[in-house]
Structure 1
Amino acid sequence: MAQQQPLGFDRRDFLRTAGGAALGAGMGAGFGVLPAGRVWAAPKQAATVAAPETLVKTLFQSLSPEQAAKVCFPWGHVAKGRGLLRTRVSANWQITEPSLFEDFYTDDQRHTVRKIMEGIYSPEWIERIDKQFDEDSGGWEQNSIAIFGDPKSDQFEFVMTGRHLTVRCDGNTTEHVAFGGPIFYGHAADTDTEGPDHPGNVYWSQGVAANALYQMLDGKQRDMALVHTGLPAEQKIAFRGERGGFQGMPVAECSADQKAALQGVLKKLVEPYREVDRQEVTACLEAQGGLDRCHLAFYQEGDIGADKVWDNWRLEGPAFVWHYRGAPHVHVWVNVADSPGVELNA
C-alpha cells in the first residue's frame, strides 16, 4: 500500500515540546485537541529512575553475541511467515524463542527487562499488570522480547510479547504512531469464559466506563451506536482513513456532556500506560481532527448474560482504532497514528 503523506506531526519534535501536562486536565478540556497557545513542558524522569529507553541500551550492551543473534534484529527485519516483525501485533505469541524464564538470560538482564517493563506502564498499574501476567501465563517471565535497530542510534524499538500482550518501548523514534506501533492487551481472569461482571478482570473497568456512556445516549443515538449485524474480526484494526465506513454513531452527534464522558472513557483506556505514550495518543488524535472525527459502536452480539451491558465495543477514526472485545474474556487491540498511511502488520 502506498504511503500517504503524514499530517505534519513529527513525533520527535512533539516529544521535545509535549507530554508534561496531566491527562486529567488535558482530557477534561477536550481530549485530542491541545489548548490553543499552550506550551507543553517535557515530562521529567525522577533522578533515581532510569527511563525505559536508557535501560534498553543497557540491556543491548549486556547481550553476548549468542544472545544478540537470537533477539536483536535490523529495523526492517522480515520474518518468514510473519512479515515485518517489528510491527507485528497478536493476542498470544512469542516474538523470539527464549522466554525470560529460561537460563538464556542472566539475572541482571532479567532485572533490566523488568525495569523496562515497569517503565512502560503507569506505576499505579504495575500490580494489576502482574496479576494479569500471573493468571494468564504464570508470571511476567513467561514473556519474550526482541530489540530492533541499534539502541545507540536514533532509531530502535524494544518489543515484549506473550499471552495477551504486545507492548513496545521505541526510544521515541518510530514516527507518526503512538505506543511505537500497534499494541494488544487482555486478561482472562481465572477462566477463559467470564461472567457478565467479569469478576477479577483488571481491564473490565474500561468496559464499565464505556457502558456508562451508552446509558447517557438518547433513543436515537442508541439506535445509531448499537450494531446488530455481528462483530468485526477483532484483529482487523488497519486504518480506514478518509474513506470512513465506520460502524456506530458519529461522536459529532454527542452533546457536550456526552463528549466529556467519552473523554473520560479515553482517559480510562490510556491510564495503564506511561505519560509520554498517553500524550502521543493525544497528539495523533489531534492531527486527525480529534474525537469528533471518530465513531463509537457497541455490539449486540456477544452480550454475556443478555443483560444489555455491552461487552464488545469499538472507538474508531481515520487513523485511530481501539477495539474492545469483552466476550468470552477481554481482548483489546489498539492502533493509533497521526496518518492513515501508516501500515499495519497483524
Structure 2
Amino acid sequence: MNTLHPSLTRRDMISRGAQAVAAGFLAPAFAETKAATSETLVQQLYGSMDEAQRKTLCFAWSDPRRLKVDNNWHITPQKIKDVLKADQQELVREIFDKLHSDEYKAEVWRQFDQDNKSSGGFGSASIALFGEPGTSQFEFVLTGRHCTRRCDGDSEKGVAFGGPIFYGHAAQGFNEKPDHPGNAYWYQAKRANEVFQALDGKQRDLALLGESRDEDGNDTVKLTGKTKGLEGIPLTELSADQKDLVKKVIADLLKPFRQSEREESMKYIEAGGFDNLHMAFFKNQDVGKDGVWDVWQIEGPNMVWFFRGDPHVH
C-alpha cells in the first residue's frame, strides 16, 4: 500500500508526491468510442443516482472524510448493497477494477474478496462522492476492510491517488505465519528485505530500529517535508547497486495500481529527490523472530509508505 498525498498516506500508503492524472471526463458522444476510465465511470454513476442516493452518498468537497484513511472503516454507514441498484453496484466494481493494473488486479480482487467475505463481500464496502463529477473538483472514495481507494481526475493537485490510500491482507487468519503464506502483498516485503541483506554492518546499524510508528489513521502517513533526520538510513549512504534495489521496492509497491498512478507517483518521488528518501526496518515486530523484517517503511519529503506485516499485512 501504497503512493503519495500532500500530507498523508500509509504504508501501504502513499503520501504527497503522487497523484493520479486520470483522463478527464468525456462528452457522452465520445464516451461510446473512447475506453472508459474510473473517472468517466464515476460521472456515469453520479448521473444514475436519484435524489435519495445523492443525499446519502454525496458530500461537499470540503468534507473531512474525503481525505481520511484507516485500515478497516466505512466512509458512510450505508453499504453498497443496501443503497445502490444492481447496475450501479457493477459500475462501482468497474471503477475499482480500473484503478488497478491489469498485471495485478486479480490479486487485488482475491485480497478484497477474502478479507470482506465474512461481512458480505464487495457489497459490504461503502462509497462516497465529494464535489461534483464532471467538474474540476470531485473525488470518489471506496472503503472497507484493508481498503481505502480514491479516484479524482487529478482534482487534488500535487497529490498521489487523490489522497492517502490503504491496502492490506489477512490471508491465513489474523495472526499470520512468518512467511505470510498466500498474502497478496508479502512479495513487497520480500523485495524490501533484499535491500537489507545487501547492506553492510554499518549500514544495517543505521537502517534497523526498534519500534515502528503507531498506526493511527492519517497521522501514520503524515508528511514532514523533511529531507534529513527521518528514520532509517538515507539513500545517500547506499551504493548505486543498493539504490537500484530500493527502486525495485518502489516499483513493487506501485505494481498493483494503474499506469497513470505509477507514473505520477514516480514524478513526485523524484521531485522530492530520490537521495532524500530514507529506509527503515523494525526489529521488535519480527514475526517468527526469523530476521526477515515484517515491518518497514520508505519516507522522504514527498512520500511515506509504511508496511506493517505484524500480525498480518497492513
Q: TM-score range by the shorter chain?
A: 0.7 to 0.9
1:295 to 255, 267, 278: 278
Work out which of the residue numbers 230, 245, 248 in structure 1 matches 2:229.
245
Please give the alpha-carbon distance, in whole angstroms, between the structure 2 residues aligned to 1:101 and 1:10.
Answer: 31
2:41 to 55, 67, 72: 55
The answer to whether structure 1 residue 101 and structure 2 residue 85 are counterparts is no
SS of match in other structure, 2:106: helix
Cα distance in 2 for residues equivalent to 1:101 and 1:144: 9
1:48-127 equivalences under 5 Å are 49-77=35-63, 84-102=64-82, 104-127=83-106
How far the C-alpha of 1:11 sits from its partner, in A, is 7.1
Please state whether the residue corresponding to 2:172 is helix, strand or coil: coil
Give 1:72 deviation, angstroms.
0.3
Distance 1:46 1:293, change over 3 A: farther
Flag the 1:91–1:133 CA change in 2: closer, same or farther, 3 A: same
Equivalent positions of 1:224-235 (< 5 A) are 224-228=206-210, 230-235=211-216
Per the alignment, residue 221 of structure 1 pairs with: 203
Match of 1:282 among 262, 266, 272: 266
Aligned to 2:167, the other structure's residue is in SS state strand
AA aligned to 2:307 is Y
Amino acid paired to 1:269: L
- The alpha-carbon distance between structure 1 residues 251 and 46, as it changes in their structure 2 partners (threshold 3 A), is farther
Whole-Å Cα distance in 2 between the matches of residues 244 and 61 of structure 1? Answer: 47
Which segments of structure 1 move beyond 3 Å, counting only runs of 4 or more? 9-12, 45-49
- Supply the distance in 2 between the matched residues of 1:242 and 1:258 (Cα, whole angstroms): 22
Q: Which runs of 5+ in 1 are unaligned?
A: 17-44, 78-83, 332-346
% identical equivalent positions: 44
Distance 1:307 1:243 in 2: 32
Cα distance, 1:218 vs structure 2: 0.9
Helix, strand or coil for the counterpart of 1:301? helix
Q: 1:299 to 1:174 in 2, by over 3 A?
A: same
Question: What root-mean-square deviation, in Å, do the aligned CA atoms of Structure 1 and Structure 2 show?
Answer: 2.2
Secondary structure of the corresponding residue to residue 179 of structure 1: helix
Q: Distance in 1 between matches of 2:41 and 2:242?
A: 41
Measure how far apart 1:46 and its partner are.
12
CA shift at 1:232, angstroms? 1.2
- CA separation of 1:10/1:88 partners in 2, compared to 1, >3 Å: closer, same or farther? closer
Shift of 1:294: 0.8
Residues 168 and 224 of structure 1: CA distance in aligned 2, closer, same or farther (over 3 Å): same
Aligned to 2:12: none
Alignment match, 1:318: 301
Determine the C-alpha separation between the residues in 2 that align with 1:85 and 1:11: 18
Give the secondary-structure state (helix, strand or coil) at the position aligned to 1:134.
helix
**Hey, what's the Cα distance between the residues in 1 that align with 2:19 and 2:290?**
43
Q: Amino acid of the residue matched to residue 174 of structure 2? A: D
Code of the residue aligned with 1:93 in structure 2: it is: W
Instruction: Give TM-score, length-normalised by structure 1.
Output: 0.79
Q: What is the rounded CA distance, in whole Å, between the counterparts of 1:10 and 1:327 in structure 2?
A: 26
Q: What's the secondary structure of 1:313's corresponding residue? A: strand
Task: Decide which of 144, 160, 165 is 2:147's aligned counterpart.
Answer: 165
**Change over 3 Å in CA distance of 1:246–1:117 after alignment to 2:** same
Q: TM-score, normalised by structure 2?
A: 0.87
Worse-matched range after superposition: 132-141 or 176-185: 132-141
Matched, 1:129 2:108: yes
Separation in 1, partners of 2:155, 2:197:
40
Instruction: Look up the equivalent residue of 1:304 and give its one-letter code.
Output: V
| 1:242 positional shift | 2.6
Q: How many pairs were matched up?
A: 287
1:234 Cα deviation (Å)?
2.5
Alpha-carbon separation, structure 1, partners of 2:18 and 2:104: 29
**Offset, 1:298:** 0.3
